[in-house]
């Protein structure tokens, strides 16, 4: 149980979160930012409670963990951020593959129509 509060383990675990700054990489299209924008929650002074990218890169000190009493205005669990990150990663990969395959498909379709 020593690893439970280890900051290095918390940082490694935080990598898989939707709001992680390490997901803000140039190799990605940036869907994480779009999904995070959809999660916006305003407080009474109209400030956005959810920040992208997150300034706390430690899962054990997560500011969005309402079970620990950090932010009470959010309507989702921290584990939902990890699930959303998995979904956005799948969408990013699909769009990347589609972007590579689309020119090949266009050239094959053009060859078929030219032969007719």
Domain ranges of the chain: 2-115
Q: How far apart are CA 52 and CA 72, in angstroms?
A: 18
Average pLDDT over residues 72-87: 78
Q: What is the mean pLDDT of the chain?
A: 76
Looking at per-residue pLDDT, the higher value among 95 and 71 belongs to: 95
Average pLDDT over residues 77-89: 86
Phi, psi of 40 (to 5 degrees): -55, 135
Whole-angstrom distance, CA of residue 40 vs CA of residue 31: 15
What are the angstrom distances between the C-alpha of 82 and each of 45, 57, 85? Answer: 28, 14, 5
**Residue-level pLDDT at 21:** 80
Q: For residue 1, name the pLDDT band (cuts at 50, 70, 90).
A: very low
Q: Quick: pLDDT tens for 37-56.
A: 877 766 666 666 777 788 88
């Amino acid at each position: 149980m020593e690893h439970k509060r280890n900051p290095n383990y918390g940082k490694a675990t935080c990598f898989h979160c939707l709001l992680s700054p390490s997901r803000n990489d140039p190799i990605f299209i940036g869907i994480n930012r779009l999904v995070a924008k959809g999660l916006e929650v305003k407080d009474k002074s109209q400030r956005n409670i959810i920040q992208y990218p997150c300034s706390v890169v430690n899962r054990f000190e997560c500011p969005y963990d309402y079970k620990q009493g950090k932010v009470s205005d959010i309507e989702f669990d921290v584990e939902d951020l990890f699930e959303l990150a998995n979904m956005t990663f799948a969408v990013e990969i699909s769009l990347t593959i589609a972007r590579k395959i689309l020119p090949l498909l266009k050239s094959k379709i053009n060859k078929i129509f030219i032969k007719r």
